[in-house]
Amino acid sequence: MNNFNPENYKIELGNIFSLIKASTNWRTDTLQTILKKYPKDGNKLFRHDELVNGYEYLGLKDKTVEERIRLKPTRTNSGVATVTVLSKPYPCPGRCIFCPNDPSMPKSYISSEPGAQRALSNCFDPYAQVYNRLIALKNIGHNIEKVELLVLGGSWSAYQEEYKVSFVKACFDAMNDVQRDTQGYIQPRTELPLATVNELFEAQHVNENAYCRNVGLVFETRPDLITEQEVVNLRKLGATKIQIGIQSLDDKIIDANHIGRPTKDVKNAIRLLRLGGFKIHGHWMPNLYMSNVKRDINDYKKLWKKDFCPDELKIYPTSIVPKTLLFKLYEDGKFKPYTEDELLMVLSETMPTTPRYCRLSRIIRDIPSEEIVAGNKKTNLRQIAEALIEKKGKRMNDIRSREIKNESVGWDNLVLETIKYDSSTGKEFFLSYKTKDTDKICGFLRLSIPEKKYRENNFIEELRDSSLIREVHVYGRVMSLDIDSSGESQHLGLGKKLIEMAEEITKKEKIQRISVISAIGTREYYKKRGFEMGRLYMGKLL
């Protein structure tokens, strides 16, 4: 890639981009046809990263061309460029019978999974994982100015504090070091440099105005490891969303699968995380040992009682992988996975009941089919389930099913929807702008109004006597601020309008302060909205 000089191919690239722009009947194979007309060096096709490099070199500004040369556009259609990294292999306090035990991976991951392979190739160096992934996305045409960072690895809260601080600091260093004109990959380091909390804070401060700004930081952990102090620790790292394993809300199923903690720990974790303003992303598993179709369908209904109500959800049907206790039970004939029809029955009866304020982010684990001894092996299970749901005359209402993605929108086609529901800490408001005719969601805000006892006695002092914005998200492809983007949902001012409405609701609730769990890279945005930085949160007097 570094040997490619677009100066040597200006004529070919110019002709290619002209044909791309002029094409009125664009199909999946059109780009290949155009590239064959103007081969590189007379006999090779230009790669996607070379097209992107040439496009930027020629200084072109054309939305149609950008969209047509970009690979995997869905990676940034949600408004951010998502980068996933894995922490090093480390013991987990859980003994779940379904959990993989790959010694080269953190607990619950398998080395053949795509994200795990990237982590292995980078020797679990957080700096190299983040840096190289950002360059890879950039080289296939994605805007990487807004980065959501997912740190996966089983039970993050179980790692040593020194490692966690050093790991996250390295991630911020990588985001800070990638510049607009950066192209080359880097070699991973063999050892992680140790860092102090103050050094982490310094890296976060730099990121507030960096080219690659962190607009979301996600960790995954066990609910029984969430305490008041852990919530504070997660916030110090810059976290805005936490993934926790719910698995099941039936304690008999929990015990049978050796998950090692009761449902009350899930309730407590969600309550503490919500009081801390975090987005809550649950993992739920149908077809666990000792469960059945009817039991799973009933269990899903419990997720939407006020003690739980996750903001996002992953549905992970149980897979049988080697070297697990569940595999032994399967071999002994004591566990039988669902047939495809049984699994589709569970999904078609549960997925449509997901509330409009929740996002169903995944329906299967990204485990390669050759690693699965028994259970679902179809990578398009979600598509199959949604087709069955439609056939049954039902419809999906969750956020992911209604995202505007790359469509153009205007204020004349938008309407505000307000959903109010009870949680274990008080009242929740889900404010969203959607299209009038197609019910496509363009932007939303999550506002928590804690009940009086939590407002007065929140364990985080700076959140007392305050409402709390837990998320503001505007959909549409990630765009650079210097590109004309009329019609794109991210530039209609939806975020500003939603914040103003949250402030009005707060005043009606007779609360004089509003706070927000800002990501590091969105602090400047909230400063422009009148918020000031506190110790861990941003706040504003009304």
* 153: in domain: yes
Q: How many CA atoms does the CB half-sphere of 454 hold within 13 Å?
A: 19
pLDDT at 480 over 60: no
How far is residue 449's CA from residue 426's CA, in Å, rounded to a whole number?
Answer: 6
Q: What angle do CA 202, 206, 211 make, to 5 degrees?
A: 155
Residues 197 and 280 in one domain: no
Q: State the CATH number of the domain containing residue 472.
A: 3.40.630.30
- pLDDT of amino acid 264: 98
Q: For the residues 22-49, what does the mean pLDDT come to?
A: 80
The answer to whether 468 and 516 have CB atoms below 8 angstroms apart is yes
Q: Are 537 and 277 in contact (CB under 8 A)?
A: yes
Q: Is the pLDDT of residue 110 over 50?
A: yes
User: Cβ–Cβ contacts within 10 Å for residue 56, how many?
Assistant: 15
Summarised one tens digit per residue, pLDDT across range 46-101 is 876 678 777 877 777 777 787 777 655 544 445 588 999 999 999 888 899 999 88
Lowest mean pLDDT among 35-49, 64-78, 294-308, 517-531: 64-78
Q: Within this chain, do residues 363 and 459 fall inside the same structural domain, yes or no?
A: no
Amino acid letter, 362 = R
Q: Is residue 190 part of a domain?
A: yes
| Inter-residue long-range contacts of 385-391, CB under 8 Å, 24+ positions, other chains counted | 385/344, 385/347, 385/348, 385/351, 386/351, 388/344, 388/347, 388/348, 389/347, 389/348, 389/351, 389/352
Lowest mean pLDDT, pick from 27-36, 392-401, 529-538: 27-36
Q: What is the mean pLDDT of residues 247-258?
A: 98
Same domain, 311 and 388: yes
In this structure, the answer to whether residues 48 and 93 fall within a common structural domain is no
Q: What is the dihedral of CA 367, 369, 374, 378, to 10 degrees?
A: 90
Q: Identify whether residues 419 and 533 lie together within a single domain.
A: yes
Co-location of 113 and 63 in the same domain = no
User: What pLDDT is stored for residue 301 in this prediction?
Assistant: 98
CA distance 126 to 118: 11
The domain of 165 spans: 74-221
Domain tally for the chain? 4
Distance CA 301, CA 350 (A): 8
In terms of domains, do 171 and 253 share one? no
Model confidence pLDDT, tens digit, residues 490-517: 567 899 999 999 999 999 999 999 999 9
Whether 275 and 408 share a structural domain: no
533 and 463 in a single domain? The answer is yes
CB 509 within 8 A of CB 449: yes
- Local confidence band at 476 (pLDDT 50, 70, 90 cut-offs): low
Band of the pLDDT at 479, cuts 50, 70, 90?
very low
What is the layout of strands, in order, in the sheet containing 81-86? 81-86, 146-152, 213-221, 241-247, 279-284, 312-315, 359-362
Residue 268 sits in the same domain as residue 290 = yes
pLDDT at 79: 59
Write the pLDDT tens digit of every residue in 300-345: 999 999 999 999 999 999 999 999 999 999 999 999 999 999 999 9
Domain boundary among 368, 401, 434: 401
Q: What is the pLDDT of residue 478?
A: 40
Categorize the per-residue pLDDT at 261 as very low, low, confident or very high, splitting at 50, 70 and 90. very high
Backbone angles phi, psi at 427, to 5 degrees: -105, 145
- pLDDT for 483: 40
In a domain, 230, yes or no: no
Cα separation, 56 vs 51, whole angstroms: 9
Report the C-alpha gap between 170 and 459 in whole angstroms. Answer: 29
Q: What is the pLDDT of residues 156-186, one digit of tens each?
A: 999 999 999 999 999 999 999 999 988 889 9
Nearest to 539 by CA among 503, 501, 504, 490: 503
Let me know: does 511 contact 455? Beta carbons within 8 Å: yes
Q: How far apart are CA 448 and CA 27, in angstroms?
A: 45
Q: Which of 350, 377, 401 is the last residue of a domain?
A: 401
pTM above 0.85, yes or no: yes
Q: Give the integer Cα–Cα distance in Å for 305 and 301.
A: 8
